[in-house]
A and B are shown apart, each in its own frame.
Chain A
Amino acid sequence: MPALIELSGIERIFHLGDSEVHALRHLDLSIAAGEYVAVMGPSGSGKSTLLNLLGLLDHPNIGIYRLEGRDVTTLSPEEQARVRSERIGFVFQSFHLVPRLTAAENIALPMTLAGIEPAQRAKRVEQALKDYGLADRASHRPDQLSGGQRQRVAIARATIMQPAMILADEPTGNLDRATGEQVMRLLEELNQRGVTLIVVTHDTTLGARARRQLLMEDGELRHDSTIKNK
């Protein structure tokens, strides 16, 4: 079975005036479809940079990123947008819901952008609202929802296009422990149904729940729980 994600020789360098920041250094990484990966490490170690790269929101300066066997670093911006639309779901720490849209509209947004017809959208949104326990919140705006509800809307939105992987950058960072626990359980359920789940977290107990842990430090992959001592 070919790896879902294959990074080889990735370098990501930010230029700040004269100084250079190596956010990622000679990174080689392979993640199979259906894996549950926690990315951990101190602040500034490059976790978010890695996730942005995996989500095609950012580009490596050097190196190759293969997604489902295809080199995606050389794709045009339009093709990359299409990959994001169809294969990748994002969950953010700060939810990133559009404030003027209702919960249902926020969930439907990826389908709206993809040009899926309204009837199909309505059907899928209805199902998602039910699945995530938001049926009675469909017409509420984000500011009328609790943090946990907002993140559930965000997860529903991330899954509505049935992506191959979910990228979550500190999805519980803005939630209390109990709510964070619920959100993690939702994500893990998705993983159990076959979606590849990659979660960035500071929380070691949350990270420990993943079957595979990656430890980042200073832009390098320090430790990979599936490989003994790199």
Chain B
Amino acid sequence: MRTPDLIRFARDAATGNPLRTSLLILAMAIGVAAVVVLTALGDGARLYVISQFSSLGTNLVIVLPGRSQTGGFNPGNAITSTPRDLTIDDAQALLRASAVHRVAPLAIGTSEISYGGKLREVMVAGTNAQFIEVRRLKLAQGRFLPDGDWRRGAAEAVIGAKIRDELFGAETALGQLIRVGDRRFRVVGVMASTGQGLGMNTDELVIVPVALAQAMFNSNTLFRILVEANGRESIEAAKAQVSEILRLRHEGEEDVTVITQDAVLATFDKLLSTLTLAVAGIAAISLAVAGILVMNVMLVSVTQRTSEIGLLKALGATGATIRSAFLTEAAMLSLAGAVLGYLLGQGGAALIRQLYPAFPAYPPDWAVFAGLGTALVTGILFGVLPARQAARLDPVQSLAKR
């Protein structure tokens, strides 16, 4: 049989039973659409997290007190069990490193803020002038903390957009005196609203000079030191230099953890890629189910068309011809289902993007190919058994069937 004839024959056979055909195509389409939409969600989540992380700042190296990664037995750790704290001096020492561009110490605590009788709990961040650059943040009004001695600092504060709204409403905030804990600060700037995001949200933050924050919390430790490397290539160098400087300052003990943003990103990237893959796998199960459906429907179709198969044999069709006719039909149904599912899936992903513009719900290319491929392969694979069954039918008995 010629290929165009085979295709036309299979198409006519498929359209000859529209209900059966449309149900089958639908089942296949749902499977493929599930793969496309779910992987779009998974990959969208991955891209979203990556973009959020990138907005934390670029070329970032972060120093945490304490050693979180276990690098084998360390005799130094065995003697002094409590790790040394990070101090402002530690942070300042990091400026000596050649690969380091900027350093921002960070002390964090909660306190009460009040203005004009209004009172609320806030997160207070003590840092320096570099912070806004390191974190790539933007001001809405005024200015940021001034450059100067990290161990001193004027009683000036920069407040988050939400704090400004709640405390000042329609009033101007700039130049006003606020009370944070038991100290008075002058508001010199308001941060631009960042909306929701990962990590620290500056909308509800009060930023003050690090020395004042430490005095307020009555401690001289730092929560983090944020280090900006000179460039992307110098991130690893900066990390090594930072580790070395701190090790020397801490009498040879490696009692801090230095992580790069890239490492964190890579971890998240891997985690969410795995998640997407898992989700795609689960969605692919629905494709296998659709494949089994194809098999059953084709088996029923073989039974229903037994007498036709007998006739084809009487008219000189070989077993191979009958096999390929049924396989072509299964492949066509799967293909139609896969294409429909692809369109539905892309439509679904587009709808998600429409509803949540911040969320880049694009199905990854591999998932689309895998989805379409799995649909076709399962359709054809599960079509083999019915096709072989049809080809094996005894012509005399088949012709006797009505």
Contacts and interface: CB of A to CB of B under 8 A. Distances in A.
Contacts of B395: 52, 57-58
Contacts of A113: 1, 312, 315-317, 321
Contact of A98 (B2, B311, B396): B311
Given A99-B16, A113-B312, A113-B316, 16 more contacts: A52-B395, A58-B395, A58-B396, A78-B318, A81-B319, A84-B314, A86-B316, A90-B314, A96-B307, A98-B311, A100-B12, A112-B2, A113-B315, A113-B321, A115-B2, A118-B5
A58 B400 CA distance: 13
A160 to B, nearest CB: 10
B5 A112 contact: yes
Contacts of A85: 315-317
Contacts of A157: 315
Nearest to A161: B316
Given A58-B396, A115-B1, A100 B16 contact: yes
A109 B1 CA distance: 10
Nearest to B317: A113
B239 interface: no
Closest 9 A/B residue pairs (Cβ): A85-B316, A100-B16, A81-B318, A57-B395, A84-B316, A110-B315, A96-B311, A113-B317, A90-B314
Interface in B281-318: 307-308, 310-318
A55 B314 contact: yes
Interface of B: 1-2, 5, 9, 12-13, 15-16, 307-308, 310-321, 395-396, 399, 402
A101 B12 contact: yes
B316 A57 contact: no
12 contacts: A52-B396, A57-B314, A77-B318, A77-B319, A81-B319, A84-B313, A85-B317, A96-B311, A98-B308, A109-B312, A110-B315, A112-B5
Interface in A17-46: none
Question: Which of the four size classes fits the interface of chain A?
Answer: 20 to 34
Contacts of A81: 313, 316-319
For the residues of B in contact with A, the DSSP-based class is helix
> Which residue of B313, B316, B317, B321 has the most chain A CB atoms within 10 A of its CB atom?
B316
Nearest to B316: A85
Given A84-B315, A86-B316, A112 B12 contact: no
A85 B318 CA distance: 9
Contact of A57 (B9, B13, B16, B399): B399
Contacts, number: 69
A110 B316 contact: yes
Contacts of A77: 318-319
Given A92-B399, A96-B399, A112 B316 contact: no
A84 B310 CA distance: 13
Nearest to B15: A100
Contact of B316 (A82, A92, A101): A82
Nearest to A77: B319
A94 B308 CA distance: 12
Contacts of A208: none
A81 to B, nearest CB: 4
Contacts of A118: 5
Contacts of A94: 402
A67 B147 CA distance: 108
Contacts of B313: 57, 81, 84
Interface in A83-122: 84-86, 90, 92, 94, 96, 98-101, 109-110, 112-115, 117-118
A84 B321 CA distance: 14
A109 B396 contact: no
